[in-house]
Amino acid sequence: MKKQRIYINGHFLTQRMTGIQRFSDELCKSLIKTGNEVIVLAPKKIRPEYKLDCKIERFGVFRGVLWEHLCLLFFLIKRKKPLLLNFGSPGPLFYKNRIVTIHDISFKHNPAWFAWYYSLYYRLITPIFAKRSKKIITVSEFSKSEIQKWLKIPDSKFIIIHNVVSDSLLNAKDTENPVKNSKYFLTVSSLDPRKNLRSIFKAFEELKPENTELVLACGKSSMFNFKDDVNSNIKSIGYVSDDELASLYKNATAFIYLSLYEGFGIPPLEAMSFGCPVILSDIPVFREIYDDAAIFVKPDDISAIKNVINSVLNDERLRNKLIRKGYEKAEEFSWDGESEVVVNVLK
């Protein structure tokens, strides 16, 4: 069978690897394994943590948004406007021959969660690139329905590509756990208001479970309007490596993730892959993705959150059930399966 040449927007290679960048990186790796000719287009300076075994063409005098809208656009025009895959950022605004990814529209759902310039920028450009693209990748049926409600785009234009746990995380080296306490609840998040960290803090502060910490692993971003007011009995350890993150998941009593809005939400699936019981906010996307593999709670009900934390902490049978169901759920997702969907669409 004839190999396809696949051009991918590699702007993500300039960014620290978090959720969207990891999604982009893993899909690139899976497409490379299909035997097709993958060419990643990127600015001249990229971060060292990305290890893609394919041709990476680096060019342009800019690095950020201007690189996409100017340097990348001129490069594509010179190459006779090939199809461009975008897994992270959207690419040149008015370029038609592309597939674009919209992970969620949280910036539209609640602009107050973000810095005003970030929210305004994406509310302005998203309708343009969504309607001008050949296909739209999104990560869940919920996210698809949200985009459709806003932009009135037909079903036929969408491709559902789920998030999958990174191989680099699953194959992480055994390392010393950054947390010394034998009992702790873990949350992995950005300091984003929609992650609803304050509800977790409040419930944990009021409950004060004996000899049990709440550990917060997250980075900071100027995009989000959130003040870091972590209390004294809550341990914030900042951004962690894959090796450290794997150790945190393996040793946690439970993982708690009470987001108010998500397109998918990959950290719960990561936790399940390492045998960690998961507590989730009762929102539609989590019911869709995680089904009976987690215990659900209303994200604004502090009393209910405290009860769930107590139950998971003290009920071994419940923890074992959640661990078993979590392993089963994690096995349903694979990058090879998701990349096959992309290749079939390209054909």
Both 256 and 311 in one domain: the answer is yes
DSSP secondary structure string, 268-306?
A: HHHHHHTT--EEEE--HHHHHHHTTSSEEE-TT-HHHHH
Both 143 and 264 in one domain: the answer is no
Tokens of 330: 């994690």
Residue 147 one-letter amino acid: I
99 pLDDT above the threshold of 60: yes
Both 122 and 112 in one domain: the answer is yes
Both 338 and 304 in one domain: the answer is no
Nearest to 228 by CA among 186, 183, 193, 274: 193
* pTM, 2 dp: 0.88
Q: Label residue 29 by pLDDT band (50, 70, 90).
A: very high
Both 11 and 160 in one domain: the answer is yes
pLDDT digits (tens, 9 = 90+) for 79-92: 999 999 999 889 99
Both 124 and 198 in one domain: the answer is no
Both 138 and 256 in one domain: the answer is no
Q: For residues 255 and 186, is the Cβ–Cβ distance under 8 A? A: yes
Q: For residues 248 and 177, is the Cβ–Cβ distance under 8 A? A: yes
Counts for the chain of helices (H) and strands (E), in that order: 14, 13
Domain tally for the chain?
2
Which residue's structure tokens are 């959150």? 305
Both 125 and 95 in one domain: the answer is yes
CATH code assigned at 115: 3.40.50.2000
Instruction: For residues 235-250, give the mean pLDDT.
Output: 90
- DSSP annotation of 346 reads H
229 pLDDT above the threshold of 80: no
Both 188 and 290 in one domain: the answer is yes
Gap between the Cα atoms of 227 and 54, Å rounded: 41
Nearest to 138 by CA among 105, 161, 163: 161
Both 128 and 233 in one domain: the answer is no
Domain encompassing residue 212: 169-330
Dihedral, CA of residue 113, residue 117, residue 121 and residue 124, to nearest 10:
80
Alpha-helical (H) ranges within 173-241 are 197-207
173 — alpha (psi -120 to 50), left (phi > 0) or beta?
beta
339 pLDDT above the threshold of 90: no
Both 322 and 340 in one domain: the answer is no
46-66 b/e with 16+ CB inside 10 Å = b?
beeebebebebeeebeebeee
Q: Tell me which of 62-66, 270-274, 327-331 is least confident.
A: 62-66
Tokens of 267: 């950290």
Tokens of 21: 């960048």
Both 59 and 72 in one domain: the answer is yes
Tokens of 314: 């003290």
Gap between the Cα atoms of 307 and 207, Å rounded: 9
| 116-122: long-range pairs with CB below 8 Å, 24+ | 118/223
216 pLDDT above the threshold of 70: yes
Measure Cα distances from 284 to 188, 280, 288 in Å: 20, 11, 6
pLDDT digits (tens, 9 = 90+) for 137-182: 999 999 999 999 999 999 999 999 999 998 889 988 888 887 877 8
Q: For residues 131 and 96, is the Cβ–Cβ distance under 8 A? A: no
